[in-house]
Chains A and B, each alone.
Chain A
Amino acid sequence: TVGAVALDAQGCIACLTSTGGLTNKLPGRVGDTPTMGTGFWAEEWKPTGPLARLWRKLTRKPLRVAVGVSGTGDGDYFIRLNAASTVAHRMKYLGESLEKATSAVVEDLKLNGGLGGLIAVNQDGQVALPLNCSGMYRGVIRTDGVPKTAIFDDE
């Protein structure tokens, strides 16, 4: 499986995931890659809690939160746990950071027997690339134009 998540200069986040699926999967098997909320998710929302009200009061602008997620790994587990949208829901309803939400979902996958990883970007350009296995091909590039890549979990 391959995927990408980007934040553009207009503040829009897009995620795209593409796969051949699972080796020797049964014909007709559908994985998490095309299943909305499990292997991919992007969402923008305006928080409404006390902190958001304080933010609006101080900045006179509405607080905007956005996230995009793409996943790879044991797709059937991503489906059972609605992994990708759960990242956004943890941020929205628990107020978790991008890093905490993605790590929690990846850890939950592992506890349920699923190996894999996620990549995610939020509205501030923060990124998270957690994995619960020995490796995930991954990379990030920012405005400096310098690509950074890694393969194994300790890189």
Chain B
Amino acid sequence: TKPVLVIHGGAGTLDRSRLTPELRVKYIAALEQALLAGNEVLTNGGEALDAVVAAVTVLEDCPLFNSGKGAVFNSAGKNELEASVMLSRPPSNRPDILPTRRGLGVTLITRAKNPSHLVRALYLAPESIHHAFLSGAYPEDFAASRGETLVDPSYFWTEARWREHRRGLGLPEDPLPYPSTTDSSDAPLDQLPKG
């Protein structure tokens, strides 16, 4: 089988007029970096599970995309992250994972730096995580016990997402709750993303 990898960011009504050449370069660079990260796993004989985690990690760490760092805010001004993983069949190097273990989703995540790492950790721990869908603090604490990184919820804050959250509710955008660490000119094209 010849490996292949496809990725996506958000979809919706993207505003062409907001896409400056500089911003386009940043989007394309992030997408290419994600593709190359995943492809490196595949070309070295790695598994599809690790390839998708490698690719999504790049996008989660990029503030341009609505996941991880750069996630949107809910109406209460909080980040509630979600992630999932699913395989067509269990990893070939893990005979302990039953064929019935198809995949897993997590929701209402607030501290996992990379939700993609969290779902992989949960998927590969079938002896104790035998559910298909988990929410809240427990999955995060479990993943942390397996070495995954938890962060303060303020890690996910970006100026662009905060402003669109406040603007969407008709609230004043200033003052900002934190000093901005991202380029304020990198306003995403998908204003008010739909998830």
Residues of A within 8 A of B (CB): 1-36, 39-44, 66-68, 70, 72-75, 115-117, 119-121, 123, 125, 127, 129, 131, 133-143, 145, 147, 149, 151-152
The chain B residues found within 8 Å of chain A, CB to CB, are 1-14, 16, 19, 24, 27-28, 31-32, 34-36, 38-39, 42-43, 45-49, 51-53, 55-56, 59-60, 65-68, 70-76, 78-89, 91-92, 102-103, 105-108, 115-116, 119-120, 132-133, 135, 156, 161, 164-165, 168-169, 189-190, 192-195
How many angstroms between the C-alpha atoms of A41 and B16 in the bound complex? 31
Q: What separation, in Å, do the CA atoms of A124 and B85 have in the docked complex? A: 21
Contacts of B38 in A (CB 8 A): 4, 6, 141
**In the bound complex, CA of A145 to CA of B55 (Å):** 14
A139 touches B7 (CB 8 A): yes
CA distance A137 to B51 in the complex (A): 18
CB of B63, distance to nearest CB on chain A (Å): 11
CB of A141 within 8 A of CB of B67, answer no
Asked whether, in the complex, the Cβ of B66 is within 8 Å of the Cβ of A40, the reply is: no
Question: Chain B: interface secondary structure?
Answer: mixed
Bound Cα distance A19, B81 (Å):
6
Q: Which residues of A contact B47 (CB under 8 A)?
A: 8, 10, 12, 14
Which of A8, A11, A24, A137 makes the CB contact (< 8 A) with B75?
Answer: A24
Q: Which residues of B contact A43 (CB under 8 A)?
A: 88, 102
Asked if A20 contacts B11 (CB within 8 A), the reply is no
Asked if A20 contacts B1 (CB within 8 A), the reply is no
